[in-house]
Structure 1
Amino acid sequence: MTSLSEGPRRALGEDDRDTAVQRVQGAYAEGHLSYEEMDERLHHVLTATTHGELAAVLSSLPAEPADSTATIGAVGGRITRRGVWRVPRVLKVASALGRVRLDLSRAVIEHRVVDIELELGTGRARITVPRDAVVDLDGLRAGWKDTRYKPRRAADPGGPTIRITGAMGLGRLKVRHAWRR
């Protein structure tokens, strides 16, 4: 995401607006804003059309924490994350050979949008997402086999968006929604 100081005249995207809403709500939750101030700022965030307008609304808020990024890598073998674990804003997964299994169904997801960047040579990858998640696979390139994913018929509002990007070599990615919450 482009920082707010870059390109103040550039049109806002939905992710930019969602991030700004989270910052205003977070500042209210931490006691930096009264309810009335939060309500007014949310109105300005939702009606802003440029990054400059958005920056003006957010300028007096406490500094935004840096996006968290984590990298998991292996030359061979398995990469597994399951159970209760904290999902960073950006998760980079690199594996030359072997299997990758990421289970986000019981993970702590603090971000509205999570980017998973895959760089896989051979082997399979399976990602289990929360039941209410929206999955975006537009940025993923599959080399040999197609990705297997069946979207939920009706996504619950308020779930995280999981964007999966990167490249798969000779393996296959299978994405599924968890059965339970």
Structure 2
Amino acid sequence: MRVSDADRERTAQRLQQAFTEGRLTHLELEDRLEIALTAKTYADLRGLVTDLPVEQVDEVIDLESKSGNIKRSGDWGVPRRLRAASKYGSVELDFSQAVIPHQVVEVELDLAYGSAKIILPEGAAANVDSFRSEWGRADSDVPGRPRPGALYVVIKGHAKYGGLTVRYPRRRRFTH
């Protein structure tokens, strides 16, 4: 998948921080920055930071909205536990390009009139057995049991008038 200018900038900042901490030499920083600023895909960027420590992410994050939507996507830090509450809006959590330092992530949803969509990286699994909806349903297109070495997301909570969808990223088709 192609990267944005913001993705390139975040990677460049991470490289500069690593240089400041003494983890990269000046020459390594210059080489990696040149690649980062001209990267076209996420794979290009990931290769630049795989030997650097994972950024510290909070253990628990609460996301709340009364009437707006909650959305997280791109390069974001995923905590061990994530609680999202929205009275009139929807929740979309895209884990496909996120920094996830934990093998198991717990997501708790509290929705009144909105639905939730969770997008997982290829190969990840999700347990939706503890999610309840009064007027919707929980649809999961991903495996429900943990797999060795793969992300496992446990989703619980409820929605009064909305549902839950869990899937992998859509594959884009290009036509000429």
Q: TM-score, normalised to structure 2's length?
A: 0.60
- In the alignment, structure 1 segments of 5+ residues that lack a partner are 1-64
Cα shift at 1:100: 1.0
Cα shift at 1:178: 2.5
2:119 to 124, 128, 134: 128
- What's the counterpart of residue 154 of structure 2? 163
Indicate whether 1:74 and 2:65 are aligned. yes
Runs of 4+ in structure 1 displaced over 3 angstroms? Answer: 152-157
Taking a change above 3 Å as real, the CA distance of residues 157 and 179 of structure 1, as seen in their structure-2 partners, is farther
SS at match of 2:117: strand
Is the contact between residue 128 and residue 144 of structure 2 (CA under 8 Å) also seen in structure 1? no
Taking a change above 3 Å as real, the CA distance of residues 114 and 99 of structure 1, as seen in their structure-2 partners, is same
2:109 to 118, 142, 145: 118
Q: Superposed, which structure 2 residues align to 1:19-168 within 5 Å? A: 68-152=59-143, 157-168=148-159
Identity of aligned residues (%): 37
- In the alignment, structure 2 segments of 5+ residues that lack a partner are 1-55, 172-176
Cα shift at 1:91: 0.1
The Cα offsets for residues 27-68 of structure 1, whole Å up to 9 and x where unpaired, read as: xxxxxxxxxxxxxxxxxxxxxxxxxxxxxxxxxxxxxx9970
Is the contact between residue 127 and residue 144 of structure 2 (CA under 8 Å) also seen in structure 1? no
Is the contact between residue 67 and residue 89 of structure 1 (CA under 8 Å) also seen in structure 2? yes
SS at match of 2:129: coil
Equivalents in 2 of 1:108, 1:179: separation in Å? 19
Is the contact between residue 83 and residue 103 of structure 1 (CA under 8 Å) also seen in structure 2? yes
Taking a change above 3 Å as real, the CA distance of residues 109 and 66 of structure 1, as seen in their structure-2 partners, is closer
